[in-house]
Amino acid sequence: AAVRILKSGMRLPPLPTVRELVKLYQLQALKQLSQNFLMDERITDKIVKSAGRIDTHDIVLEVGPGPGAITRSILRRSPQRLILVEKDHRFLPSLELLKECAKPLDLQVDIHIDDILRFNMEHHIPDTTQRLHLIGNLPFAISTRLIINWFEDLSLRRGAFRRNDTCMTLTFQKEVAERICANLGDKQRCRLSVMSQIWTQPVMKFTIPGKAFVPKPEVDVGVVKLIPLKQPKTDLPFGLVEKVVRHIFNMRQKYCRRGYGTLFPPQDRDDICYELFQRADVEDTLRPFQLSVDECIRLATVYKEFIDANPDIARYDFRAQKNVPTEMLSDEYV
């Protein structure tokens, strides 16, 4: 208890500023690792505050701490353990410095020079009695891939999501953040909105102007908190839901039956679509952005029933056909 009292409102010992460390260790930002650093403590504190209450027995995992500005804000909130996963080994000295400062204050800091896309959560966090927070100013290059991987983990209650209260507080390009949070009918509504909202409640917390970063990216940044739904919208297999939603949004401007129809061979497409939209009770002339999450799930459910009865159709891949428009070959989450 005494330690906890000491830890609350904790102050780190005097440290060089992040700006000084970047200079000292000559940490030039690498474009290929999407490095844009935050230097302003008020902004990094605000990001960490967006994660909500962090208890003294919680674990925080920070993705891509870089020179450690958000890391300092997290340490000031005194979690029991802080796990840092950073791909670029050049940041090791500045992160080690933070670890040393945290030691006398009974804060455990584990530094992993590793790729977050390959980081084995169950190995590094075997115990699930402690609450886990995922926080990060994400590298743009991997942010969408990372959350899609995490949604799959969430759907399977594995990795970081063996507990159902692991929240993610993450930055994205502002446009991507808006897509994640876009509601039914919004013009940004896309595949990523639906995928995010099947397993989580995304909340746009605030935006950070590009000029707050060094070097300045071309876009502004949005901070989103993704709160896992206590009751996800479906327990259908992740891969099947992903496939159906991807097909629906393949033709964004067309009636939703057009994209959905590409799940089936052309000769039977119209008849199957007619029947399945009826069964799902979905209007087939809605545009994809007008479909609710529940309607997408119903379309995935009837697709599953259909392929269970017709397993050959599950293997049909319209992209292997001739003359597929190139925009339909894209895996982009737009």
Provide the binding-site residues for ligand SAM, judged by CB under 6 A.
33-38, 63-66, 69-70, 85-88, 115-117, 137, 139, 142
CA distances from 196 to 45, 91, 201, 230 (A): 25, 31, 7, 14
- Both structure tokens of 133: 């927070």
CB of 71 to ligand SAM, least distance (A): 7
Q: Which CB atom, from 109 or from 116, has the smaller least distance to ligand SAM?
A: 116
Q: Which CB atom, from 134 or from 297, has the smaller least distance to ligand SAM?
A: 134
Candidates 139, 78, 69; CA nearest to 97 is 69
CB of 121 to ligand SAM, least distance (A): 13
CB of 225 to ligand SAM, least distance (A): 16
The whole-angstrom distance between residue 331's C-alpha and the CA centroid of its chain comes to 16
Q: Which CB atom, from 65 or from 202, has the smaller least distance to ligand SAM?
A: 65
- Both structure tokens of 101: 């400062």
What is the DSSP code string of 46-94? HHHHHT----TT-EEEEE--TTSHHHHHHHTT--SEEEEEES-GGGHHH
Q: Which CB atom, from 223 or from 226, has the smaller least distance to ligand SAM?
A: 223
Q: Which CB atom, from 146 or from 297, has the smaller least distance to ligand SAM?
A: 146
CB of 78 to ligand SAM, least distance (A): 19
Report the alpha-carbon distance of residue 133 to residue 62 in Å, rounded: 8
Q: Which CB atom, from 144 or from 250, has the smaller least distance to ligand SAM?
A: 144
Report the alpha-carbon distance of residue 181 to residue 184 in Å, rounded: 10
CB of 159 to ligand SAM, least distance (A): 15
Candidates 93, 98, 95, 138; CA nearest to 115 is 138
CB of 146 to ligand SAM, least distance (A): 8
| Residue number of the CB atom closest to ligand SAM | 64
